[in-house]
Amino acid sequence: MELGSCVKENSFNDHYSVYAREALDELPDSFTITDPSIPGHPIIFASLGFLNLTGYTRDEVVGNSGAMFQGPGTCRRAVMEIREAIREERKTQVVLLNYRKDGTPFWMLFHMSPVFTEHYGGVVHFVAVQVPLQKKMNFCEDGSRLQQDFVFGYCRKEVCLDSMLGLSRVCHMDQHDDVRDLESEEPCEASDDEKRIALTAMDNIFSVLTHYSESMGRLVCRKRCSMPDVGLLSTSLIISLGRIKQSFVLTNPHLLDMPIVYASDAFLKLTGYARDEVLGCNCRFLGGKNTDTSTLYLIRESIKTEQPCTVRILNYRKDKSSFWNLLHISPVRDASGKVAYFVGVQIEDDHKNGDRPGLSPERKQLSVVGVVKVAVRSLSMTAGSSKP
């Protein structure tokens, strides 16, 4: 739990100065910031406007995914559109039915955009703005409520049918009937004004993020920088790899000096480095004055011959303390059978591994390798099938 909290805190602090939170809290809009590199793609920042809209506290929201606000009436098609936009690292705008802490539903315009880093061009965060939709009522000549207007847009067929059935109930509703039934029948289409509110809010948020990331020397932007041959992983693969709890890295043998292109949270905890300090570096930075050169030779030979190998090697953390690393390296092939990456799985040898219950270090390492291989192969098959 402490590791998770620290990782989420660092996810924000590593990119923006300490004043960024205060500046974001001054914005009146409802929005959240999420990090796809953390397992579960959790929220790492929630605005005061969002907390007021949903009724949750910041501690209840940060660390959880946006799925916590969904419910039985949430449109599955809209959710799938959001997931697809995350996978393709693009912005999207959908209408969504979400639920407050007290269980009341509300319609909102959900506008999401990826946040790219200028450092290596990858996606570091996603910003999502939520604009609650206004009710559209019809009134009788005496001023009493007649019924609501219903506009069937993004909502799936089943939800719309439910709304049509609910219309007969609304016509007979007493003014004191439960507001939950009424809110769930709200229109499924955003007005031009509500769309402009979302765009303006996004502009203001990026203005703050850009300013306070530039002061840290880690500028973020709304569009990916044109940086060929940087070996970026897709957000979809990052999310899949983020589910693995063991310490491991993924390196790209097709790039100069075979840099690390993915590092797990457990690896960062083991070595003491931040993610930005690891990505783009060769694994040799873990070595030191007492690292055995013959072991390094075995590693280089296994990579050269595209064969797996397991070694015990002395490595060094960021604070210069040393540890014995039970390291397993294996090639990872794509759907065509070509080596796309090498995975390195690290287990600290503290001479107590044999006394611990559960899988042996070797079985743990092979398990990680297997999951990584499945993730890479599945993604390459999906990418290949989507080509014209």
**Which band of pLDDT confidence, cut at 50, 70 and 90, is reported for residue 136?**
low
- Which tens digits make up the pLDDT trace of 17-48? 889 999 999 999 999 999 998 888 999 999 99
Residue 259 lies in a domain: yes
Predicted confidence at residue 188, as pLDDT, reads 63
The continuous run of DSSP H or E covering 212 comes out as helix 192-214
Q: What percent of the chain has pLDDT over 70?
A: 77
**Is the pLDDT score of 172 beyond 90?**
no
Residue 228 lies in a domain: no
**Is the pLDDT score of 173 beyond 50?**
no
Same domain for 255 and 318, yes or no, is yes
Mean pLDDT of 62-74: 93
Tell me the CA distances in angstroms from 239 to 37, 221, 364, one per residue in order: 6, 21, 20
- Which tens digits make up the pLDDT trace of 337-385? 899 999 999 999 876 555 556 678 888 899 999 999 998 888 766 654 4
Q: If you average pLDDT over each of 253-262, 309-318, 370-379, which comes out highest? A: 309-318
Residue 277 lies in a domain: yes
Residue 185 lies in a domain: no
Mean pLDDT of 294-304: 94
**Which band of pLDDT confidence, cut at 50, 70 and 90, is reported for residue 234?**
confident
**Is the pLDDT score of 214 beyond 50?**
yes
**Is the pLDDT score of 161 beyond 60?**
no
Same domain for 195 and 334, yes or no, is no
Same domain for 175 and 98, yes or no, is no
Same domain for 374 and 255, yes or no, is yes
Same domain for 119 and 160, yes or no, is no
**Which band of pLDDT confidence, cut at 50, 70 and 90, is reported for residue 242?**
confident
Tally of domains within the chain: 3
Residue 230 lies in a domain: no
Same domain for 143 and 129, yes or no, is no
State the pTM of this model.
0.65
Residue ending a domain, among 179, 210, 244, is 179
Same domain for 246 and 369, yes or no, is yes
